[in-house]
C-alpha cells in the first residue's frame, strides 16, 4: 500500500563560482559553475488525491501563504510531479504542500529545490522505485538547478548548469547569508549582463562553452574547496552575474563592503541575487560579522534577514515526518 503522505526536503544552493558564457542557440547561456548546497531547506509533503489533478499550496515556516510563487500550472513543484506522472504512467493525482524557508527569487534556487523535493516525495508516494539517475533525467528537463538540488553536496555544473558532476566530500564552509526583498528576476540579471558586455561595461564572456569541467576556470577554486582553507576559498570566489545584480540593486555593494569591513573573508552575490554571501571562518566569526553587517543591510536594502549557514552534503531526500509541524496537505 502507498503511504498516506510522504515528506521530502531539498537544500538551497549557492554558486562558489559562476562563469557565464555567450548565449546559445536555445537562448540559454553556457555555464561553468561550482555549486554548494547549504543548510536552508524547503519541504514538500505529497498526499494522494482522489482525482488525477496535481495541486499545490505554498506556505512560509509560520504557515502563512507565500507571495510570489507561481499558480498551480506554473509552480515548479507541480511541473515536477506532472513530468514524473507522464514519464511513469501514473494516473493518481497528488497534492503538494510546500513549506518554504528558501526565499523566492533570491539566487538560491528555491523553486528548483521545490521541484527536486517533489520528485523525491512523489516517487516514494507512488512506489516507483526509481534510482537517482532516472530522477536526474526528469530533473534536467525542469530547470538548470533542479539536478543539483537532487545531488546536493558540492558539484561542478556545466551546460546550462544541468550537467552535474559531484565532487568528493569536503570540509564545510560557513557563511553569513543576507537575504532581502523584493527578489531579482534571473532572466533580467542575465539580460543586463549581456547588455553590459555589449556596451563594454563588462569584459566579454571568458569562455566559449568548450571549457571542460575542472579546467583553468575552476581548478584553483576546486583545490581550495578540497583543502577546506577558507582563505584560499575566498580568493577563488567569482560570479559573472554580480556586476549586473549590483547595478539592479545598488544596496548590495554597500552591504558587501560593510561585510568586508567587519572582517568577512570575501563577499559574493549568490547566483542572480539579490542574496549576498559573506565567507567567514566559523560560527563565532559569523556571529561577529552578522552583528556588524545587520545595521548596514537594513539601511541599504528592504526585507532583510541575516543568518549563519553552512555547506552541507545533503541533497533532496525523504525525511521522517516531524511531529506537529507541517500538518496535512
Determine whether 60 is an active site residue.
no
**What grid cell was written down for 251?**
544596496
Question: Distances in Å between the alpha carbon of 65 and those of 26, 46, 58, 69?
Answer: 35, 18, 6, 10
Question: How many whole angstroms separate alpha carbon 258 and alpha carbon 262?
Answer: 6
Catalytic residue, chosen from 42, 114, 145, 240, is 145
Q: Is-contact 303 50, C-beta < 8 A?
A: no
Name which of 6, 7, 188, 38 is nearest 110 in CA terms: 38
* DSSP codes of every residue in 37-58: EEEEEEEEEEEE-SSS-EEEEE
Radius of gyration, alpha carbons of the chain: 19
Catalytic residue, chosen from 13, 42, 114, 240, is 13
- Name the phi and psi angles at 169, rounded to 5: -55, 140
The kind and range of the H/E element at 6 are: strand 6-23
Q: Is-contact 175 310, C-beta < 8 A?
A: yes
Question: How many whole angstroms separate alpha carbon 57 and alpha carbon 69?
Answer: 10
Name which of 190, 27, 208, 31 is nearest 107 in CA terms: 190
Determine whether 13 is an active site residue.
yes
Q: Which residues are catalytic?
A: 13, 145
Amino acid at each position: 500500500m502507498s503511504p498516506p503522505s510522504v515528506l521530502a526536503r531539498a537544500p538551497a544552493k549557492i554558486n562558489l563560482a559562476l562563469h557565464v558564457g555567450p548565449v546559445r542557440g536555445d537562448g540559454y547561456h553556457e555555464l561553468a559553475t561550482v555549486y554548494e548546497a547549504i543548510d536552508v531547506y524547503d519541504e514538500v509533503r505529497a498526499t494522494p488525491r482522489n482525482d488525477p489533478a496535481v495541486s499545490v499550496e505554498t506556505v512560509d515556516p509560520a504557515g502563512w501563504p507565500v507571495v510570489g510563487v507561481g499558480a498551480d500550472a506554473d509552480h515548479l513543484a507541480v511541473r515536477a510531479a506532472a513530468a514524473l506522472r507522464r514519464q511513469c504512467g501514473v494516473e493518481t493525482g497528488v497534492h503538494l504542500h510546500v513549506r518554504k524557508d528558501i526565499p523566492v527569487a533570491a539566487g538560491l534556487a528555491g523553486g528548483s529545490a521545490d521541484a527536486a523535493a517533489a520528485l523525491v516525495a512523489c516517487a516514494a508516494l507512488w512506489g516507483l522505485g526509481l534510482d537517482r539517475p532516472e530522477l536526474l533525467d526528469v530533473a534536467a528537463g525542469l530547470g538548470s538547478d533542479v539536478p543539483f538540488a537532487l545531488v546536493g553536496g558540492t558539484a561542478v555544473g556545466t551546460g546550462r548548469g544541468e550537467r552535474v558532476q559531484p565532487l568528493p566530500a569536503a570540509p564545510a564552509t560557513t557563511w553569513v547569508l543576507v537575504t532581502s526583498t523584493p527578489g531579482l528576476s534571473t532572466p533580467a540579471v542575465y539580460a543586463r549582463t549581456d547588455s553590459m558586455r555589449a556596451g563594454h561595461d563588462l569584459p566579454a564572456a571568458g569562455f566559449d562553452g568548450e571549457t571542460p569541467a575542472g579546467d583553468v576556470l575552476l581548478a584553483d577554486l576546486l583545490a581550495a574547496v578540497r583543502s577546506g582553507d577558507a582563505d584560499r576559498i575566498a580568493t577563488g570566489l567569482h560570479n559573472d552575474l554580480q556586476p549586473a545584480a549590483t547595478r539592479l540593486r545598488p544596496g548590495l555593494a554597500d552591504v558587501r563592503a560593510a561585510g568586508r569591513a567587519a572582517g568577512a573573508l570575501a563577499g559574493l552575490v549568490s547566483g542572480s541575487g539579490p542574496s549576498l554571501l559573506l565567507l567567514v571562518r566559523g560560527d563565532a566569526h559569523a556571529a561577529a560579522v552578522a552583528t556588524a553587517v545587520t545595521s548596514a543591510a537594513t539601511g541599504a536594502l528592504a526585507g532583510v534577514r541575516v543568518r549563519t549557514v553552512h555547506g552541507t552534503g545533503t541533497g533532496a531526500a525523504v525525511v521522517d515526518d516531524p511531529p506537529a509541524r507541517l500538518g496535512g496537505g
